[in-house]
């Protein structure tokens, strides 16, 4: 396939993970409203947003293969996206303190020229130890949580809070490359599953 790859994101973490796959690509952020719809479940939200990002960017790159992704943190049906501000980040982290939560990441691969696209959703389960108010405040003050779903970076300072983990670490970071590779293969093979 001679098409170029376009990552519908400016996330440094997603760029780094996609680079590890050895793909040549450009990163073009998708400007989409990430607000959850009433009663929308986490899995449905990330699926919709990843697909919307890929389709939006494909409007400018119709001949190319677009890779969209979205990540949210959830406890049951309570969805935590990126914090709006520091107070919101502290609130989210208090909710996650001492509890198990889920991280949902969707990957969408779409090519307008082929009229085909595929979406996978992957989930990981993370449990934090109980967090003291001061360590939450210090963490938020560091600025690290401000552009992260659920207000934390597992690959950063928050990694020390994790007491149990199930799943693929890349799901929590924001781009599970096994899914990217699988969906790119599906686009390249005309949709046949391997």
What dihedral do alpha carbons 31, 141, 167, 106 form, nearest 10°?
Answer: -10
Burial of 162 (0-12, 13-18, 19+ CB in 10 A): middle
Alpha carbons within 13 A on the beta-carbon side of 105: 24
Q: Are strands 65-75 and 5-7 parallel, antiparallel or unpaired?
A: parallel
Residues sharing a CB contact under 8 Å with residue 14, sequence separation 6 or more, in sequence order: 7, 27, 69, 174, 175
Active site residues: 70
Q: Are strands 25-27 and 65-75 parallel, antiparallel or unpaired?
A: unpaired
Q: Which residue has the tokens 């949210």?
A: 72
Q: Are 114 and 140 in contact (CB under 8 A)?
A: no
Q: Hey, which residues does 131 pair with through a beta bridge?
A: none
Q: Are 81 and 51 in contact (CB under 8 A)?
A: no
């Amino acid at each position: 396939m001679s098409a170029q790859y376009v990552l519908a994101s400016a996330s440094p973490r997603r760029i780094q993970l996609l680079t590890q796959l050895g793909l040549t690509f450009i990163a073009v952020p998708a400007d989409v409203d990430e607000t959850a719809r009433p009663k929308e479940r986490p899995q449905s939200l990330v699926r919709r947003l990843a697909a919307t990002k890929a389709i939006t960017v494909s409007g400018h790159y119709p001949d190319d293969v677009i890779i969209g992704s979205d990540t949210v943190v959830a406890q049951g049906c309570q969805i935590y996206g990126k914090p709006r501000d520091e107070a919101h980040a502290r609130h989210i982290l208090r909710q996650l303190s001492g509890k198990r939560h889920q991280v949902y990441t969707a990957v969408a691969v779409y090519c307008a020229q082929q009229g085909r696209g595929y979406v996978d959703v992957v989930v990981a389960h993370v449990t934090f130890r109980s967090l003291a108010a001061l360590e939450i405040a210090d963490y938020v003050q560091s600025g690290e949580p401000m552009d992260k779903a659920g207000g934390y970076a597992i690959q950063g300072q928050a990694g020390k809070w994790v007491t149990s983990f199930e799943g693929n670490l890349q799901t929590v970071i924001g781009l599970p490359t096994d899914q990217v590779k699988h969906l790119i293969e599906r686009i390249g093979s005309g949709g046949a599953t391997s």
